[in-house]
């Protein structure tokens, strides 16, 4: 589980058994209300500066080391790497 700035949000990191893939999942489980998620040290968490946003909805073109993003109700962000 990732420590996030807002307890109404949910986040975790998952790594494949062979260590070649890793994903950060950030979610706003609420049905009303946009909430801002702030996450620092993304590159350190992922182990690289090349991180892709594979979210089903609105995508961030360039994932930066510090993320500050407004999560819409029910929105999920997926940040992924493959080595």
Find residue 21's DSSP bridge partners. Answer: 82
Q: Average model confidence (pLDDT) for the chain?
A: 96
What integer is the mean pLDDT of 2-26?
A: 96
Residue count of the chain, please give it. Answer: 83
Task: Calculate the alpha carbon distances from 1 to 4, 12, 30, 61 in Å.
Answer: 9, 4, 18, 25
What integer is the mean pLDDT of 15-36?
A: 97
Whole-number pLDDT of residue 48: 97
Per-residue pLDDT of 49-74, as tens digits, reads: 999 999 999 999 999 999 999 999 99
Residue % of the chain over a pLDDT of 90 = 96
């Amino acid at each position: 589980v990732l420590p996030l700035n807002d307890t109404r949000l949910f986040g975790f990191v998952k790594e494949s058994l062979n260590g070649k893939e890793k994903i950060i999942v950030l979610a706003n489980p609420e049905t009303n209300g946009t909430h801002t998620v702030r996450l620092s040290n993304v590159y350190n968490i992922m182990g690289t500066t090349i991180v892709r946003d594979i979210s089903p909805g609105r995508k961030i073109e360039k994932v930066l080391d510090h993320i500050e993003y407004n999560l819409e109700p029910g929105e999920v962000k997926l940040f992924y790497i493959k080595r």
